[in-house]
Amino acid sequence: MMPLSSERTPVPPDAMKIPLSAPDITQAEIDAVTAVLRTPHLSLGPELGAFEAELAAYHQVRNAIAVSSGTAGLHLSLLVLGIGPGDEVIIPSFAFIAVANAVLQVGATPVFADIDPVTLNLDPAAVEAAVTLRTRALLVVHTFGVPANMAALQSIAHRYGLKIVEDACEAIGAVVGDGITRRPVGSFGDLAVLGFYPNKQMTTGEGGAVLANSPPHAARLRSLRNQGRVAGAGWLDHGEPGFNYRLSELACALGRAQFARIEEMLACRQAAAERYNDMLSKMNGLELPPTNLPNLRISWFVYVVRLPEKMNRDRIQAALAARGIATGRYFAPIHLQLAWRSRRSGAVPLPVTESIAHRTLALPFFNRITSHQQQEVCAALFNLVAEQG
Ligand SMILES: Cc1ncc(COP(=O)(O)O)c(C=O)c1O
């Protein structure tokens, strides 16, 4: 396992004794990637088609279009839905910055709506209050792998004639409902986006995919990711301006080997989350994430606790880092980021986001984290919280 840095900065892999996240690479992944290297097909070959078919089947949608990142997937999704200048897209501020950047990239305006304090996902009432005559779409993030309230959000979208893009970059394998009502996250929106950065439940190194039921959407996504090339025509026949958002054969082979183990990996993460909840349940003032929500299966992306209000998160993070324990500030609200302060439209209050985001702390969390490592994290956290308390 190659440990990742505490956040997405290039820190030497051995900088932290217990990393924040770590990809789970076995011999199967190494063999799959090596096998591709022995073929002449390093891009646009059979691994791509097979990976896309597997992703589509799992998510119960007609098409999956693999792309070079989750951000690229969000960008293309908004483009394909015809969203552009003059349009507003409702997004959470408690999210990764790519969500807002993608909206800006198509020339539209991100409008922030507040979140539900339990699930940390868009609060449907706040979304409805943010709808204006210019609103064209909801960009619904399944934060930390917890499914958003799709029934309520779909009803709002229906009432106001809005598109839905699901951002399932953090949520592959999350499920809503049970039995015949069971639906995977990613099957609800007009389009949905997956992300495979190495801190995710499964990785392709860099990469993502767009899930699309509509064949015209799928065809346009395939063309746009490949420089706007016309399907079935020559390499130099371009129907419209496009991008190089292709995903290599090596990445697709890695993704297929990972995806073949997705249930096993999600089970490891669920078990690790439950262990943390057990170990931390006696720590005064610490708020823990829910491990079971009715009618939902969480796909654990990160394990995020909320510190008591009076604690100094920066000091706790620094003290943990000094002990070789990496943590993350998931998430710093987008509307408070330097790059976004001047762009904020509407100035809708975001009290829940602002009251929670400065207290969140992501603890080390990855498939193969051991009980022993988790005990070390919890003991260190316990001492620090007691010291500050
Ligand atoms: C919610 C969300 N959306 C989008 C992205 C962007 O994905 P990528 O880093 O693959 O561009 C991420 C990833 O980190 C994410 O967590």
Instruction: Return the best residue to mutate from 21, 96, 140, 334 for the ligand 1 pocket (most ligand atoms within 8 A of CB).
Output: 96
Residue 55 confidence (pLDDT):
98
* Domain co-membership, 212 together with 291: no
* Domain co-membership, 280 together with 199: no
| Residue that terminates a domain, selected from 211, 240, 259 | 259
Measure the CA–CA gap between 241 and 303, rounded to whole angstroms. Answer: 41
Q: Is 96 in the pocket of ligand 1 (CB under 6 A)?
A: yes
Tell which atom from ligand 1 comes closest to the C-alpha of 199. Answer: 14
* Domain co-membership, 232 together with 369: no
Residue 2 confidence (pLDDT):
46
Position 16 in a domain? no
Q: Name the nearest CA neighbour of 331 among 191, 141, 159.
A: 141
* Domain co-membership, 244 together with 266: no
Q: Is 170 in the pocket of ligand 1 (CB under 6 A)?
A: yes
**Token pair for 192:** 């949905």
* Domain co-membership, 268 together with 203: no
Of residues 258 and 309, which shows the higher confidence score? 258
Position 2 in a domain? no
Enter the pTM of the model. Answer: 0.95
The Å distance, Cα 382 to ligand 1 centre, comes to 31
**For 254-296, what is each residue's pLDDT tens digit?**
999 999 999 999 999 999 999 999 999 988 889 999 888 999 9
Q: Is 95 in the pocket of ligand 1 (CB under 6 A)?
A: yes
| Residue that terminates a domain, selected from 223, 244, 259 | 259
* Domain co-membership, 61 together with 121: yes
Domain with residue 346: its CATH number is 3.90.1150.10
Q: Is 98 in the pocket of ligand 1 (CB under 6 A)?
A: yes
Average pLDDT over residues 201-228: 98
Q: Is 169 in the pocket of ligand 1 (CB under 6 A)?
A: yes
Position 20 in a domain? no
* Domain co-membership, 124 together with 165: yes
* Domain co-membership, 165 together with 100: yes
Residue 330 confidence (pLDDT):
92
**Token pair for 374:** 């988790």
Position 13 in a domain? no
* Domain co-membership, 46 together with 169: yes
Position 21 in a domain? no
Alpha helices in the chain (DSSP H): 27-37, 46-58, 70-80, 98-105, 124-130, 150-160, 215-225, 249-259, 262-280, 313-322, 338-341, 351-357, 371-388
Least confident of 235-249, 318-332, 335-349, 375-389: 335-349
Q: Name the nearest CA neighbour of 94 among 108, 109, 71, 112.
A: 112
Position 139 in a domain? yes
Instruction: Return the best residue to mutate from 9, 20, 71, 89 for the ligand 1 pocket (most ligand atoms within 8 A of CB).
Output: 71
Position 6 in a domain? no
Distances (CA, A) of 218 to 56, 170, 213, 315, 358: 11, 22, 7, 48, 39
Measure the CA–CA gap between 225 and 331, rounded to whole angstroms. Answer: 29
| Residue that terminates a domain, selected from 202, 232, 259 | 259
Position 10 in a domain? no
Domain with residue 31: its CATH number is 3.40.640.10
State the total domains in the chain.
2
Average pLDDT over residues 67-73: 98
* Domain co-membership, 130 together with 91: yes
Measure the CA–CA gap between 160 and 154, rounded to whole angstroms. Answer: 10
Average pLDDT over residues 104-111: 96
Please give the residue range of the domain that contains residue 313.
262-388
pLDDT at 342 over 90: no
* Domain co-membership, 127 together with 235: yes
* Domain co-membership, 275 together with 295: yes
Tell which atom from ligand 1 comes closest to the C-alpha of 95. Answer: 1
**Token pair for 131:** 């709808």
pLDDT at 50 over 50: yes
For the chain, give the mean pLDDT. Answer: 94
